Structure 1
Amino acid sequence: MVALDIDGTLLKWIDGQDEAYETITAPVHDAVHRALDAGAHIVLASGRSPHGMTRIADLLHLPRGEAERLWVVASNGAVVFRYPPMEVVHEETFDAAPAVAAVLEHHPGALVAVEERGIGGYRVNRVFPDGELSGEQLITEVSDIVGEPVSRVIIRDPQATADDFIDLAARLGLHGTDYVVGWTAWMDLSPVGVSKASGLQHVCDKLGLAADDVLAIGDGRNDIEMLRWAGRGVAMGQSVEEVRAAADDVTATVNDEGAAVEMSRWFPPRQA
């Protein structure tokens, strides 16, 4: 099985990114299909919500023809679904209200979002910067956003830094939740024990595979558990040091098609 992160692994990140920038390059597309030709399962594993991942599957032309529906791990492992059509087969939820309140006490101006599948977007306390969330944003009071169990909460403070959030999370402990901080002051809160690794383990169990059978490629802090769990975990070249340290190897950067470089080691192009 080949488990692939999306942003920063399959897709190059551009500030102010929107759907128009979501382009799968030919080397990545071809490497994915060589893996399929060799009999590997391709599983997308992302912090994105489900509705933000299906179009990436479409760009990769997955699944192919009459092939079995794709397995997808979304929301940093909290949601596992099949596609197409989208069918959620596993979901983990938690009470996020205490953790959100603790973060907002220190960052009262932070933005809060929870996926709302019914609108193909998010419930938010204020609109997020352009390109940071896909789909519609429905303005909602924080008390209503986290008023019932959720699978993931996004907290974003454009006035802070990633290090600010890392320090805050360490100080707060955020009891009852797990968290991951992105490249910026972006924090994903999730149920304890839930990560891309746990979501992928669910898929492996269904496919009769083990972690040792998995090649995983990613670039972010939310990929650390996945890279440690997989039989071979590979960090993208632009990853921060803690991500690189969690991996078995480091490939080229996303701008140098690192995912394709790594997949080509195991699924090489045919010789002319």
Structure 2
Amino acid sequence: MVALDIDGTLLRWIDGTGTSHEEITPAVHDAVRRAQEAGAHVVLASGRSPDGMTGVADLLGLATEDSPVWVVASNGAVVFRYPPMQVVHEETFDARAAVAAVLTEHPQALVAVEERGRGYRVNRHFPMGELSGEMILSEVESMVAEPVSRVIIRDPEATVEDFVALAGRLGLHGTDYVVGWTAWLDLAPVGVSKASGLQVVCRELGVAEGDVLAIGDGRNDIEMLTWAGRGVAMGQAVEEVREAADAVTATVDDDGAAVEMSRWWPA
């Protein structure tokens, strides 16, 4: 099985932003096709919401109605098959205390909760391109009144270092968290990660974790890279991600995912 992160792994970052180009290079497309044709299960694993991942599956040509693809979304909290979208597994948690703790220190922060099929409920609009789908203005209290699978907290005025320190300082008991490339914090149920979502897929497919190749570039990929039989960090990944991996490939701008897959499924 091949587990692939999306942004910064399959898709190239847009310089100076937290968004990526929705384009697959020919090298990456061909490498994915070769792996699939050789019999490997190709699984997308991302922090994106489910609705933000189906278009990438379409770009790669991964799925058909007769053979839907497995997808791990929301940093492992949601596992689904596509097409059509069929949620197979979902983890939720009570996010009220963690959100309140973060907002006490960053009262100006933006908060988002997925509204499946539409986009996100947000307390204020996020920068253009950072969220997929519609942004539905809501009060924070109503957004987290019921258990949720994931909460995004974003402060455009802060730095990634601010959020790394914040998460470590607060502890966020009962909640797991991942800090992104910017001042972006993903809150999730305890024990939920891309690795836990991929374990669900492995059980369904009868694949051992030792037979998984995982490729990613972000802090939310660390559990996946250490769990997989072979975890590979993209060349532009921060040092803590590179240290968690078994190997480091080329950067996303140099088609690092294709370079790694071509080791096993050459052209």
Query: TM-score with structure 2 length normalisation?
Result: 0.98
Q: 1:260 aligns with which of 255, 258, 261?
A: 258
Q: Distance in 1 between matches of 2:210 and 2:2?
A: 11
Question: 1:13 aligns to what?
Answer: 13
Q: For the Cα contact (< 8 Å) 1:16–1:131, is it kept in 2?
A: no
CA positional deviation for 1:62: 1.3
**Distance in structure 2 (CA, Å) of the matches to 1:163 and 1:16:** 16
Residue 106 of structure 2 corresponds to 107
Counting matched residue pairs gives 266
The equivalent residue for 2:95 is 96
- Structure 1 contact 17–130 (Cα < 8 Å) conserved: no
Query: Which sections of structure 1, spanning at least 5 residues, go unmatched?
Result: none
Q: Is contact 1:71–1:203 with CA below 8 Å preserved after alignment? A: yes
Q: Distance in 2 between matches of 1:219 and 1:59?
A: 20
Aligned equivalents of 2:108, 2:17: Cα separation in 1:
21
Is 1:188 the equivalent of 2:186? yes
After superposition, residues 57-72 of structure 1 pair within 5 angstroms as 57-63=57-63, 66=66, 68-72=67-71
What CA distance in whole angstroms lies between the structure 1 residues aligned with 2:18 and 2:92?
A: 29
**What is the correspondence of 1:23-38 to structure 2 with a 5 Å cutoff?**
23-38=23-38
SS of 2:72's equivalent in the other structure is strand
Q: Show the counterpart of 1:247.
A: 245
Give the drift of 1:63.
1.4
Name the counterpart of 1:50: 50
CA distance in 2, matches of 1:18, 1:227: 22
8 Å contact kept, 1:157–1:185: yes
CA 121–173 in structure 1, closer or farther in 2 if over 3 Å, else same: same
Corresponding position: 1:205 with 2:207: no
- Is 2:137 the counterpart of 1:139? yes
For 2:228 and 2:91, locate their aligned partners in 1 and report how far apart those are by CA, in whole Å.
21
The AA in structure 2 aligned to 1:104 is L
For residues 108-163 of structure 1, the C-alpha deviation after alignment (integer angstroms, 9 at most, x for no partner) is: 00000000014x20000000001110110000000001110000000000000111
SS at match of 1:128: coil
Distance 2:99 2:230 in 1: 35
Once the two structures are superposed, residues 47-88 of structure 1 have per-residue CA deviations (whole angstroms, 9 ceiling, x without a partner) of 00000000000000111574x210000000000000000000
Q: Is the 8 A contact 1:16 1:130 kept in 2?
A: no
DSSP 3-state at the match of 1:180: strand
Unaligned runs of 5+ in 2: none
Q: CA RMSD in A?
A: 1.2
Paired AA for residue 100 in structure 1:
V
Show the counterpart of 1:234: 232
Deviations 1:173-226 (A, max 9, x none): 001100000000000000000000000000000001111010000000000000
| 1:230 partner letter | A
Q: 1:17: how far off?
A: 7.0
Q: Distance between the aligned counterparts of 1:64 and 1:258, measured in 2?
A: 26
Identity of aligned residues (%): 76
Q: Following TM superposition, by how much is the alpha carbon of 1:37 offset from its aligned partner in structure 2, in angstroms? A: 1.1
Deviation string, structure 1 residues 218-262 (Cα, Å, up to 9, x no partner) = 000000000000000000000000000000000000000000000
